[in-house]
């Protein structure tokens, strides 16, 4: 999986964990407030564990709540099968940016097709 995506090849010239954590925090500080931003994405349980173990400043910055799009997908599969089967297909190559973009697209789709406001 990571060989196909090119991730392993990129690792040799990568940044340190601490540097990556600082860059993420700088980015988040531009758009969010500490303690207010939930971790979001698909199947993010392992991500949360990784962040807690290897990026403690980021773990403290994030809200304790999570938005797991895969949980919404599972509810759609059970309760709204037509919506589920028409959901957008993933286009990313299992790299962070592509996965993030796919999760955003998928969550927008569920918001427009399940969480419809009558207000």
Query: Known catalytic residues?
Result: 64
Nearest in space to 74 (alpha carbons), one of 110, 113, 49: 110
List all residues 6 or more positions away from 77 whose beta carbon is below 8 Å from its beta carbon.
84
Query: By C-alpha distance, which of 95, 107, 99, 105 is closest to 3?
Result: 95
List the structure tokens of 26: 């700088």
* H or E element that contains 40: strand 39-41
């Amino acid at each position: 999986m990571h060989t196909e995506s090119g991730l392993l090849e990129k690792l040799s010239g990568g940044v340190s964990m601490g540097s990556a954590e600082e860059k993420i925090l700088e980015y988040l500080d531009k758009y969010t407030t500490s303690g207010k931003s939930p971790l979001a994405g698909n199947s993010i349980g392992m991500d949360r564990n990784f962040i807690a173990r290897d990026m403690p400043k980021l773990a403290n910055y994030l809200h304790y709540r999570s938005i797991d799009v895969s949980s919404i997908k599972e509810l759609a599969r059970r309760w709204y099968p037509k919506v589920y089967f028409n959901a957008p297909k993933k286009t990313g190559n299992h790299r962070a940016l592509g996965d993030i973009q796919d999760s955003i697209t998928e969550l927008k789709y569920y918001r427009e097709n399940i969480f419809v406001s009558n207000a």
